[in-house]
Amino acid sequence: KRLVLINPFGGGGKAPGVWKRLQAILAPSGLLFEDMQTTHAGHARELMQSLNLDDYKCVCTISGDGLVYEVINGLMSRTDGKAALERVPLAPAPGGTGNALWRSICHKAGEHADLLGAAFVYAKGQAAPLDLWEHVRPASDGAPEEHLGWSMLSLSWGIIADVDLE
């Protein structure tokens, strides 16, 4: 079965409705899904840290890119992090505002960036590599190097906002 994580606040609250429509499209496929709504920020990360990987073929997300970010960071924080991330494919669907990662996946899979395209991506279950980078605060003034997290798609620096505030 596939685990489906739904952020009820994703896309201004549209994610649960997206899952309902996507579920109707997927019904004839015979695929098994276990759906779960996240209840708070960081919930998906917490779930991934203790997920029994043998129970799921895939982790699907219905939200924006933030929920995928939580899933990745939760899997990577496990003692078997890299192996866990390689073992369990991630499949986002468009339940957020921008859905950049989902659009990239549909493009790479040759599918349209709509719910039918998301259904085909879910049903095919073909994995594709995703570039990740690790955020690390360098060691300085006697403080050790500090791992801050993992990211995908983009990285931004908040100096413009800081300059604007000054």
Q: Which residues are catalytic?
A: 65
Q: Write the burial class of residue 103 (CB in 10 Å: 0-12 exposed, 13-18 middle, 19+ buried).
A: middle
| H runs (alpha helix) in 15-140 | 15-26, 43-50, 65-76, 81-87, 100-109, 115-124
Contacts of 132 (CB under 8 A, 6+ apart): 72, 76, 150, 151, 152
For the four alpha carbons of 60, 120, 102 and 150, in that order, the dihedral sign comes to positive
What are the two backbone dihedrals, phi and then psi, of residue 137, each rounded to the nearest 5 degrees?
-90, 120
